[in-house]
Amino acid sequence: MNSLTITRPDDWHLHLRDGALMASVLPHTAREFARAIVMPNLKPPVTTVALAAEYRQRILTALPEGSDFQPLMTLYLTSGLTPDEVVRARDSGFVQGVKLYPAGATTNSEAGVAGLDGVMPTLERMAEIGLPFLVHGEVTDPAVDVFDREAAFIECVMVPLLQRLPTLKVVFEHITTRQAAQFVLEAGDNVGATVTPQHLLMNRNALFQGGIRPHHYCLPVLKREEHRRALMTAVASGSRKFFLGTDSAPHAQHTKETACGCAGIYSAHAALAFYAEAFEAAGAPDKLEAFASFNGPDFYGLPRNTGTVTLVRESWAVPTSYPFGEHDVVPLRAGESLSWRLAGQ
């Protein structure tokens, strides 16, 4: 197989940053995807419909000329997010969900909530109106091993939440474990999950090959090979519960290669090539289209895209870095060769 044509896909989990940083990386996403769910963890975070509208306009203004890419916005769940505001979000037509960042779990999560009891009226309203709850699924208890935080979250948070609100529409974001894949498969149709390219292609050994690899550090962190295989089996099964979400998260090179060790992998430069590689390795290239182009819009209740994109088998070298405002961002597979590329790229 030397080419693969699929319906134009969407990215259901994306970090764009803001300002000049955003303008640097946005063309990569706009070239490959028709739409993307844009994460709200800016500083300060996007906590209201008005702030989401302003951020959306900044994205549209920064798009390359002629692009028809559409950003789909989200609100950051804080203790101040009211039931009335989520109704306004649903009615806006451009806010597609509310994002949970457990306080301290990942980049710019300081404004997140420590627990869900205090925001239950807001979640109840979301369940009533069908507004999706986008979940970063990790506990932050320091007594829990970092590699076990997703599995613990399922037991401590997800199961009780869905028992209390069985109709709440939940996207379990960037799942990384066998337990998460199994949980999603066994849950109702109101529960889906995004899966990143890095968690399909790499296990935790990638963090230490040839020394510590800061550009392979993301949260949730890469897991054991058994978990990577379980994720690949889940997405290659054809289940409509799993859909593409890169979690592409650009950080300046100097902030990754430091004691800070910012969490995030930049994959937007070649997202579809990475997924094509993963599905081909699993012997399931025919399952890529549904994962990339159908399952996400179906879950969110949005129309599927028209038009197509074509991936061609053609070796190309990934640059060692891309401009990122006045800085550089080191992409996934920097300086290495990929075997697939987007036609016309």
Consult the annotation and say whether 58 binds a ligand. Answer: no
Consult the annotation and say whether 203 binds a ligand. Answer: no
Task: Please pick, among 10, 11, 247, 286, the residue that the annotation labels catalytic.
Answer: 247
Consult the annotation and say whether 145 binds a ligand. Answer: no
d(CA 197, CA 278): 8
Consult the annotation and say whether 52 binds a ligand. Answer: no
Q: Could you confirm whether 247 is annotated as catalytic?
A: yes
Consult the annotation and say whether 56 binds a ligand. Answer: no
Consult the annotation and say whether 28 binds a ligand. Answer: no
d(CA 314, CA 340): 5
The DSSP code sequence of 276-325 is HHHHHHTT-GGGHHIIIIIHHHHHHT-PPPPSEEEEEEEEEEPPS-EEET
Does residue 240 contact residue 298 with C-beta atoms inside 8 Å? yes
CB contact set of 115 (below 8 Å; sequence gap of 6+): none
Consult the annotation and say whether 63 binds a ligand. Answer: no
Consult the annotation and say whether 174 binds a ligand. Answer: yes
**What per-residue string of b and e applies to 308-339 under the rule 16 or more CB within 10 Å gives b?**
ebebbeeeeebeeebebbebbbbbbbbeeebe
Consult the annotation and say whether 4 binds a ligand. Answer: no
d(CA 1, CA 165): 46
Consult the annotation and say whether 247 binds a ligand. Answer: yes
The DSSP letter of residue 248 is B
Consult the annotation and say whether 99 binds a ligand. Answer: yes
State the catalytic residues: 247
Mark the binding-site residues for substrate, compressed into ranges.
15-17, 41, 136, 219, 251, 263
Mark the binding-site residues for Zn(2+), compressed into ranges.
13, 15, 99, 136, 174, 247
Mark the binding-site residues, compressed into ranges.
13, 15-17, 41, 99, 136, 174, 219, 247, 251, 263
